Amino acid sequence: MNKEEHLIFRLPEDWTRSLNSESKIELGSIELDHEEPGRVFRVKFGQVETFAFLLDLPCIVETHKTLDDVNFFKNTDIAQMIYVIPEYEKDEPRAKSEV
């Protein structure tokens, strides 16, 4: 049985404004001594390179789909988010300071 796994991919606002069908976002795992393996990523979008963290959401988010804009059915549960750190927050990211 095929299982879909979903997560939220949160991008900086200026990146979302410039996204189009030809846009390419590169995501590569990196290891840091003080972080759990597989939770920190190097992200590249065009000429900009920054970091991202895999975060656990405080609760499970249920998502739904529709085929006819009338009937909805449950699609999946989401429990994690990849938060891409904006360039101006690289020194002190909000995502890590609030945890």
What is the per-residue pLDDT across 39-73, written as a single tens digit (0 to 9) for each? Answer: 888 888 888 888 888 899 999 888 888 999 999 99
Q: Residue 41: count other Cβ atoms within 10 Å of its Cβ.
A: 19
How far is residue 53's CA from residue 27's CA, in Å, rounded to a whole number? 11
pLDDT of 76 > 70? The answer is yes
Q: What are phi and psi of 73, to 5 degrees?
A: -135, 150
Domain ranges in the chain?
8-56+83-88
| Chain mean position to CA 8 | 5
How far is residue 96's CA from residue 91's CA, in Å, rounded to a whole number? 11
Which ranges of 1-99 does DSSP label H, i.e. alpha helix? 13-17, 94-97
Q: What is the mean pLDDT of residues 25-29?
A: 80
pLDDT of 77 > 60? The answer is yes
Q: For 16-71, where are the E strands, in sequence order?
A: 25-29, 40-45, 48-66
pTM: 0.70
